[in-house]
A and B are shown apart, each in its own frame.
Chain A
């Protein structure tokens, strides 16, 4: 029917310009369905988290933060190579803890970018009128932001690792440390992405989203570290350790000091022991699963 349309020429209002309309062509090619659509949304969101495929302006912040994340690692490597040090100035597992402000800023800027825009411009119904379903949307967005965070946090570790090998440090030690660091930042990426997306998905206003994510991450960390310091001074170290359950970054710190051979940033450098560590792991996983569940609930209501 459509293909039988005879060619016709449309005159544009410009007059002598003619656009030759070859008629409507129907599409008989493959339709790759739900899983392909989910992958497309994932890759589009991941690229978007670094401003790719978006305006030049939106590339500035994520790229800048990426560079800020990597520069200290490059400097450490340079110093280690130049001074022929026996080990790197900073553990792999410690790097993300030290750079947490940059990570928080990245989450705060990109989580709202990823989900608030779709809500604000009401693009969500266009997704759900296609084969994908709520779960596909949530998982694609979650995975994309977690991957973007992983790139942000793992890239400097890679710089450190390559630098350490160039400086001819012990291969086994470095590889083990690097692997532990990767596990730690993977967990951190999942946790931060989940918290960031849950907060951002509540508001269609990007500004509110950014402010709320920063507030939650910094206030929780500020409160926890203050309380921990007080507990430390008063000599109730165990209580101090458990307070660490209440902020994302101290959670990660607790998990990695208990299981990933990291030195803790808790007061006095004393992190949770193995038993307490299990609690930290459970809370971390609970938060990740909980974030996912909350996102699912949030998007169930966003129909057309």
Chain B
């Protein structure tokens, strides 16, 4: 077990796992309190279109997928702000079309036989040093933005109507949350894959929400819980030769179940 830590790819996987856990803990908290989980799911699946785009044009994967996911996020922000009653229809549409575009672009790429499974279920063991640099950069960006605009993000998330009365540009921050979600989802896809990314953005966050008395605590605690689940999942997947993304999610689900049982049986502690 310990000798595994000597391998570079295992080290990379652990570092990426921790970084993505904190990024998804912070952004997942914003997604959950703003009730944007379905939106985030839409962005996750749409970003497969970006992966197809990157493969077809020979661009770096993170770049292509991020670009596409951001475009999808902006489009969703625009539609959800202006046409609130048609949100689910629109998300469903963009969800499917994004994936279809990705699959077709991969089909059209000459001689490229892509392993779709690695995007659906993640490939944390294939994380490169460059990937880690990109993920660190993104986490840094998220931390700085949340630090500088914490009050505004909190106000918009808690009561957007009141925030706008106090002069907060609600549309801007709503769009900002969606764009940061898109960027985070793309890196989280690398760890758990696009089908499972929603679990990473909700399970640890749900537990943290129950335990926290402030949004900042919820973000931090989500990061910690998510890290725990990711590392345990990673270890189990190494020991028993299982798909890493799916193992991480199952560990999270078990964690959530035990938490809920514990929570029912005993009065809960608050931070």
Decide whether A and B are members of one complex: no
Q: State the B residues within 8 Å of A (CB).
A: none
Q: State the A residues within 8 Å of B (CB).
A: none
